[in-house]
Amino acid sequence: MEENTLFLRALLRHDWETYGKVMGSLAAQGKGTPVAIIGSTFQLAVPRCFGEGTTVADVVQFVADARIFYGDTADLPQREAEAIMRAVLDLEAPWVEEVVENLPVVEIASIEARLLAKLVADRGLSDTELDSLLEEAERSLREDA
């Protein structure tokens, strides 16, 4: 696994020791948060976890549950989180594109990371399942490069 992927794995598994080491290494290289792997993983995970037949109500409920899960709702803005999920699931509304386009990439990655953590927790992904998802996201990024 690449270093950026190890960062996300550590974050999703709450492995703060590995997270600290990887973030230190990234900082020493002059790199910031690896937003590409977060986005790639999010793009793969959301449709798999929600699938066809997902409704707007499903998305609203998931985001509301995620906000409760984190306890500090200011860190996970409802409208923005819903817009990001709706965009991935093709549950468009006139405001979705505008909201997503006006968000800074770092904020999108932050929201996606929180939602991914909730998905991983809800689905009870094993280490093998999580590694498979992350490796697929890595491959997708390499293919797009």
Structure tokens at 49: 């976890």
Q: For 73-97, how does the pLDDT look when each residue is reduced to its tens digit (9 = 90+)?
A: 667 899 999 999 999 998 878 899 8
For residues 46 and 85, give the distance between their C-alpha atoms in angstroms, rounded to a whole number.
7
Write down the pLDDT at residue 74. Answer: 62
Q: Concatenate the DSSP letters of all residues of 73-104 into one string.
A: GGGS-HHHHHHHHHHHTT---TTHHHHHHTS-
Mean pLDDT of 14-27: 92
The long-range contacts involving 79-86, CB below 8 angstroms and separated by at least 24 positions, are 80/107, 80/111, 81/111, 81/114, 81/115, 84/42, 84/108, 84/111, 84/112, 84/115, 85/46, 85/59, 85/115, 86/56, 86/59
**Structure-token match 């923005």, residue found:** 80
Confidence grade of residue 16 (pLDDT, cut at 50, 70, 90) = very high
Mean pLDDT of 100-117: 93
Would you say residue 111 has pLDDT above 90?
A: yes
Residues 18-42 as b or e (16 or more Cβ within 10 Å = b): ebeebbeebeeeeeebbbbbbbbbb
Query: Mean pLDDT in the chain?
Result: 90
Enclosing H/E stretch for 2? none
| In the chain, % of residues over pLDDT 70 | 97
Write down the pLDDT at residue 92. Answer: 78
